[in-house]
Structure 1
């Protein structure tokens, strides 16, 4: 005799499904409201985000000076001044030449795409030009916008020079205060929060700071190595625009997976246009070798480089960030995804049946410099 559905169980399942759907809907509404509030506060949050990223790079020397007995204000002042000197040197030696050659870089990429289209239309591929012209034209426009946006974002931070200057000044002041008073922030925060929040929020903040600092410092180091080796290879082959391509490689390192592909494609296209197919293949081989060294040598040496995110999650995060906020969104997408993963892992620990390992007392000072 065939089994019949139980009306009682069916009604209970429907009620449970409705309750879960309502809870999910409320969570999505709350998330949308939070994103809307963040968007309205972006003029304040953007300097704060930049300051935090800069603090992750400058905290190690400040911590070194503090451990040598320097006063917090003096250590923060010295590190801030040194950072300004280094930044000014980079702008004088790199930014000006790169900005002056950005137009030539964009024209070279566009010409390279056109040359690839002509090559694909001939034997042995014989691809109909009408089938690829729309996609190529769209890709050309996107690369033009991307290269221009990358240079603009790197050297101004926002759409206008004035807003970029204000953002930079606010970020520098915030970085100084983070370096000076950062270690006192989490104890102060714990005293302000009630109940269990006094424990949970500082722990999540400390873990988030550790993850963010590890990502920024390791990506900067790996990006620098990639830029040096790839730039050296381009110089040996005789490819023009070596300095802009090296800077583009360094900046693209902060967008995992996607950034390396983009920077490598630009370098190959420039070599194809200026030097021909043979040198373009040599440049491609150099980039592949450097990427293999990065994945198999550099990455194991820098053990804390990653955020523990799957490659598919990284790709989705970069795509979503680029759609929401352009180049800035793609640069911030992976760190934000890593921070979300930190929060989720902590929540999963608290909701699991097995109690998590107790927190160690030796929390590094750098973990308390966030805000």
Structure 2
């Protein structure tokens, strides 16, 4: 110990880096080996986190825990099955039709850019869109079919994993029913102060985040779908669902609105403008009027760290990694800040006692 204390800090960090790297590599190997199982556990845990909120509401009104769990679980299950029977086939059909029409839409967008370029030349505007038109057409034409094919493959693969879906549903019910006892049993193995902090941070960062984010995403998807249908946007249902799903992730709503606007503008420029205005109005209304009350500022993360956590989550865990990246990063930050504050204040308390 004395020898380690005498080492310069840069030497200690240099010795610690290989150990951190090897441990991280080992965790990645284990994660990849148990990837399917971890996906089922994570998906079930997220669903249980979200459904625990209405269960708690029913318990506050005097409903026993088990009947409340059964009622919320059955309502959710029948709702998802109903949506899968009605909405999913329509969305998949529209996705296939969109994949077939994308080349035509892209060519229409290129034609509109050429017309704008001709207008700029006729009026001596300092605008040159020739290179942009060619590059945009080539890039989008080469990637549009690939993206649509990957989306179709992902949807078919998700529906095809029937065993994983069944395991997720069953595990969600048991976590919702007995999950509190499970978490309490795991936390008993930890030191009391750490267990107390983890219990608070888990509820604050995961439970509240997912309840708020799912509510906001649902409102975004429903409002966007209705707005697009009223505007008679082609594939309005598909585009509304895309915005709703993307809104589960920070910055996903803005990205999906931009994507939908560009696609619609390729087919009809002025309809694309209307889509952008309506989508921005809905988004600002929900994010400024509803989202702060549901989400608040509890994540406490700098936007840069939010982006980094999203990139790491997508790289390590795919879609589920994107969903848990921000609350996990916020959980780590809030826990470490609280423990560090406690450790910094403890010497002051001791000295004041003396």
Deviations 1:43-73 (A, max 9, x none): 1111111111111221122223444554433
Cα offset, 1:235, TM superposition: 2.0
The 5 Å alignment of 1:214-253 reads 214-253=208-247
1:301 equivalent in alignment to 2:298: no
RMSD between superposed Cα atoms in Å: 3.3
- Out of 323-332 and 81-90, give the one that drifted further: 323-332
Q: Is the 8 A contact 1:239 1:270 kept in 2?
A: no
The counterpart of 1:182, out of the listed 170, 176, 179, is 179
Cα offset, 1:338, TM superposition: 3.0
1:256 equivalent in alignment to 2:250: yes
Q: Secondary structure at the match of 1:254?
A: coil
Q: Is the 8 A contact 2:248 2:323 kept in 1?
A: yes
Question: Equivalent residue for 2:129?
Answer: 127
The counterpart of 1:337, out of the listed 326, 329, 333, is 329
Alpha-carbon separation, structure 2, partners of 1:328 and 1:148: 21
The 5 Å alignment of 1:141-290 reads 141-142=142-143, 144-147=145-148, 149-150=150-151, 153=154, 159=157, 161-162=159-160, 164-191=161-188, 193=189, 196=191, 198-201=192-195, 203-257=197-251, 259-274=252-267, 276-290=268-282
Q: Is the 8 A contact 2:208 2:295 kept in 1?
A: no
Q: TM-score, normalised by structure 2?
A: 0.81
Alpha-carbon separation, structure 1, partners of 2:184 and 2:313: 33
Q: Is the 8 A contact 2:229 2:237 kept in 1?
A: no
Question: Equivalent residue for 2:69?
Answer: 76
Alpha-carbon separation, structure 2, partners of 1:107 and 1:333: 34
Cα offset, 1:144, TM superposition: 4.5
Alpha-carbon separation, structure 1, partners of 2:90 and 2:206: 31
Q: Is the 8 A contact 1:215 1:305 kept in 2?
A: no
Cα distance change of structure 1 residues 135 and 314 upon mapping to structure 2, 3 Å threshold:
farther
Alpha-carbon separation, structure 2, partners of 1:283 and 1:300: 25
Alpha-carbon separation, structure 1, partners of 2:10 and 2:324: 36
Alpha-carbon separation, structure 2, partners of 1:204 and 1:81: 30
The counterpart of 1:26, out of the listed 13, 19, 22, is 19
Highest relative contact order (Cα 8 Å, sep 6+), 1 or 2?
1
| Alignment coverage as a number of residue pairs | 336
Gaps of 5+ in 1: 1-11, 357-371
Question: Equivalent residue for 1:8?
Answer: none
Deviations 1:82-124 (A, max 9, x none): 2211111111221110011112233445544444444445343
The counterpart of 1:98, out of the listed 88, 91, 97, is 91
Question: Equivalent residue for 1:316?
Answer: 308
Cα distance change of structure 1 residues 299 and 78 upon mapping to structure 2, 3 Å threshold:
closer
Cα distance change of structure 1 residues 68 and 226 upon mapping to structure 2, 3 Å threshold:
closer
Cα distance change of structure 1 residues 61 and 322 upon mapping to structure 2, 3 Å threshold:
closer
Question: Equivalent residue for 2:35?
Answer: 42
Q: Which has the higher helix share?
A: 2
